[in-house]
Structure 1
Amino acid sequence: MRIHDIIQGKKEWRAHAARVKALPQDYQIVYKEIQKYFFKVGPVELTEGTGLLSGIVDLFEEGAASGKGVLDVTGKDVAAFCDELIKDSKTYADLIQEAVEQEANKTMKKDKKK
């Protein structure tokens, strides 16, 4: 990764953070919880720019502009909202599981050859 890419990434993240800070307080709280959830669950796309998170901010900005409460936008079960957003996404847990399965398959093949 070039230094220019790092600087550009930081600029994009700062602009994203400024958008979050401009949201109403209840939206900010829920956004931060969603962000924590995604960092814990680890959808792979999360590290590729701010696409998923930026989309959530877009949605929240629209909800706030129309006068909706944040739970009117996400529903009362915010974790289910998050899970729905990433249901078709590959997570780091998936990648680890695949690596473990591949290693187990290699070991089983070696054992069969003996």
Structure 2
Amino acid sequence: MWIEKIVGDLGGKKRYRAYRERVRRLPEGYREAALALEHYLLNLGPSGDSTSLMAMLDDLADLLEQGVAAGTPLRDVVGTDPVAFAEEFMQNYGGGSWIRKERDRLARAIDRAEAEERR
């Protein structure tokens, strides 16, 4: 569609708005946690692939909605270390982020340096 060439993928924007509406309907504590996790995931998650990013956000909303429906305390959903939770959660989704690329680059550089040192 010609309009998508001008304003971008409308399906993705609609999907993101639907996700945000789901988050808005969560109880306050869960909603605050969802927004904090979303912020972290948007900054460190699969930035190169909007499909993976939206799948990740939709799954996050599913997980939090299920926690609410089951009456599960928030800490039982995200654990005691929310950063570890977010990092493990992100590992389930494809797409690269700048931080993953830099971690991989660092690891490769150290491997090369170690190989050079052994010569």
Q: When the two structures are superposed, what TM-score results if normalisation uses the length of structure 2?
A: 0.69
Paired letter, 1:64: V
Contact 2:37 2:86 in 1 (8 A): yes
Provide Cα deviations, 1:5-43, integer angstroms capped at 9, x if missing partner.
622222111111111111111111111111111122233
- Which of 68, 71, 85 pairs up with 2:75? 71
Query: May I ask how many residue pairs the two structures share in their alignment?
Result: 103
Match of 1:112 in 2: none
Runs of 4+ aligned structure 1 residues displaced above 6 Å come to: 97-101
* Structure 1 unaligned spans of 5+: 102-114
Identity among equivalent pairs (%): 28
Larger radius of gyration: 1
Name the SS for the 1:50 alignment partner: helix
CA contact (8 A) 1:46 1:52 kept: no
Quote the RMSD (CA, aligned, Å): 3.0
Q: Which runs of 5+ in 2 are unaligned?
A: 109-119
Q: How many Å separate the matches in 1 of 2:85 and 2:99?
A: 19
Q: TM-score, normalised by structure 1?
A: 0.71
Contact in 1 for aligned 2:45/2:90 (Cα 8 Å): no
